[in-house]
Amino acid sequence: MTQWHYLFVLLACLVITAPLEFFGRGVYRRPRLLVAAVVPPALVFVTWDLLAIAGGVWSFNSRYLVGVILPGALPLEEVLFFLVVPICGLLTFVAVDALLGSDRRRRFPVAESRR
């Protein structure tokens, strides 16, 4: 059962932040922006991981992995981490911005006064 821990944590992150989609303009409702925000940094970090693995800087404990290993000895869970965590961060940011943004616009109507 321990091989599922990493995936369970990633799933929990998605489940916990899923309701935040209903605050503000959402994240999943804008898939092109979501991909543009998540994929470039994920590619950078996947490359970083591949270089670190190849250089022997770090490795992964197979006890906590389901066993799907991608080219370059990169576990599936690691790639999913680079996608899931930024998505959860974006969901949180958009929701907080929606909740605080309306208050900020009422207190500081700079854009409105310039029209």
How confident is the model at residue 24, as a pLDDT? 85
Q: Give residues with Cβ within 8 angstroms of 90, minimum separation 6.
A: 27, 34, 37, 38
Assess contact for 44 and 83: CB atoms under 8 A: no
pLDDT at site 2: 86
pLDDT along the chain (115 residues), means of 10: 90 96 92 95 96 94 92 95 96 92 64 53
Rounded Cα–Cα distance for residues 5 and 2 (Å): 5
Taking the C-alpha atoms of residue 29 and residue 23, their distance in angstroms, rounded to an integer, is 11
Kindly list the domain boundaries of the chain, sorted by start residue: 2-97
Residue 30 neighbours by CB under 8 Å, 6+ apart: none
Strand ranges for 9-113 from DSSP E: 69-70, 74-75
| pLDDT for residue 102 | 65
Q: Is the dihedral of CA 19, 22, 25, 30 positive or negative?
A: positive
Check residue 4 and give its pLDDT: 92
Contact criterion met (CB below 8 Å) for 114 and 61:
no
Statement: the pTM of the whole predicted model exceeds 0.85: no
